[in-house]
Amino acid sequence: MSLLDALMATRRPYLNDGGIETDLIFSHGFDLPFFSSFVLLDDQKGRAALQAYFSTYLDLAAAEGRGFLLDTVTWRANAGWVPRHELAAEAVRDINLRAVDLARAIRAANPGTATVLINGTIGPAGDGYAPEQCLTPAEAEALHRPQMDALAEAGVDLATALTMTHVGEAVGVVRAAQAAGVPVVISFTVETDGRLPVGTTLGEAITAVDEATGGAPLYFGINCAHPTHFIDRLEGAWTKRIGLVRANASRQSHAELDESTELDAGDPGEFGPLYQELAQRLPNLRVVGGCCGTDHRHITAIARSA
């Protein structure tokens, strides 16, 4: 059985890490322009910080006997964001290749966790909290294709598009993945009312992407929102397509978080029972982790409950 087959067949969710950017910025003092963790690939100090960060979660997965999805630090490494760093468009390939190389090195240095998949992370072309524009599927496919091609070249086990805000971009990402031959996951973000930032319900978004792509995504996810923002809205056949949850630590809205100058780590202890309930509501949950504001405390609580 391949690593991907094992993930798809698991009845005990694999672990993901927490909110890497918020942790590195607020807890470790790193400057990450545009929330771009890939800038840490450029020097030894940054690479060492990434090694230490992921090793903490790999140790947890090993201790709990769980599989692990090891993310590449490429959420911002797409053609929409790389130019904002005053880098040429051709830098997308180099950044993604180097990020996958580092992920492989981290996996090799932490052999205690038997099942570790390299997960190429993809972010939205614009702001994950407030989309600057809604892309058509064709526009999104063209924009995300360079990154997807690089991840395919590097040989990731799968790619996960996190913090998707609207259906058009999600469909484009899936089509780019299909063209590149990369298994793909689509994860949406929601507001405090459980709807995408553009007003679409989760059920509508998942159904629309499945219909437009022939059910191509491996599964769907929810990230960058507190569990209480969506847990009571998980009803319907579409919930069987949700395989990933990576929640925020804070109960604040996206607008409130955007204005905040301090980290809101919420209550790590509440993540245990909340994720336990999520696991009961989502029969095909395969991956659990955290997003903004979460750290190893939150993931430890999840690992011991969900």
Give tens-digit pLDDT for 242-255: 999 999 999 988 77
Average pLDDT over residues 184-200: 96
Q: What is the pLDDT of residue 128?
A: 67
For 173-190, the pLDDT digits (tens) are 999 999 999 999 999 999
Q: What is the pLDDT of residue 178?
A: 98
For 210-228, the pLDDT digits (tens) are 999 999 999 999 999 999 9
Percentage, residues of the chain above pLDDT 70: 99
Alpha-carbon separation of residue 243 from 4, 15, 59, 160, 221 (angstroms): 13, 12, 23, 11, 6
Average pLDDT over residues 227-246: 97
CB 89 within 8 A of CB 146: yes
Kindly report which listed range (181-185, 254-258, 294-298) carries the lowest average pLDDT score.
254-258
**What is the average pLDDT value for the chain, to the nearest integer?**
95
31 C-beta neighbours (distance < 10 Å), count: 8
Q: What is the pLDDT of residue 254?
A: 79
Q: What is the pLDDT of residue 56?
A: 97
pTM of the predicted model, to two decimals? 0.96
Q: Domain 3-303 maps to which CATH number in 3.20.20.330, 3.40.50.11810, 3.30.750.24, 3.30.497.10?
A: 3.20.20.330
Average pLDDT over residues 14-26: 97
Q: What is the pLDDT of residue 252?
A: 85
In the structure, what pLDDT confidence band is assigned to residue 306 with cuts at 50, 70 and 90?
Answer: confident
Distance CA 61, CA 56 (A): 9
Q: What is the pLDDT of residue 255?
A: 76
Residue 112's contacts (CB-CB under 8 Å, 6 or more residues apart) are 58, 59, 62
Q: Taking 80 as the threshold, does the pLDDT of residue 258 lie above it?
A: no
Phi, then psi, of 76 in degrees rounded to 5: -100, 5
CB 196 within 8 A of CB 190: yes
Average pLDDT over residues 47-63: 97
Distance CA 126, CA 81 (A): 8
For 37-53, the pLDDT digits (tens) are 999 999 999 999 999 99
DSSP secondary structure string, the chain?
--HHHHHHH-SSPEE----HHHIIIIIT----GGG-GGGGGGSHHHHHHHHHHHHHHHHHHHHHT--EEEE-S-TT-STTTGGGGT--TTHHHHHHHHHHHHHHHHHHH-TT-S-EEEEEEE--SS-SSS-SS---HHHHHHHHHHHHHHHHHHT-SEEEEEEE-SHHHHHHHHHHHHHHT--EEEEE---TTSB-TTS-BHHHHHHHHHHHHTS-SS-EEEESS-GGGTGGG--SGGGGGEEEEEE-S--S-HHHHHH-SS-----GGGHHHHHHHHHHH-TT--EEEE-TT--HHHHHHHHTT-
Residue boundaries of the structural domains of the chain: 3-303
In the structure, what pLDDT confidence band is assigned to residue 112 with cuts at 50, 70 and 90?
Answer: confident
Q: What is the pLDDT of residue 284?
A: 98
- The vertex-19 CA angle with 16 and 25, nearest 5°, equals 145
The packing angle between helices 167-180 and 202-213, to 10°, is 40
Sign of CA pseudo-dihedral 22, 26, 31, 33:
positive
Average pLDDT over residues 96-122: 95
Q: What is the pLDDT of residue 129?
A: 66
Q: How far apart are the first and last CA of the chain?
A: 24
Distance CA 17, CA 37 (A): 14
Distance CA 278, CA 297 (A): 18
Distance CA 21, CA 258 (A): 14
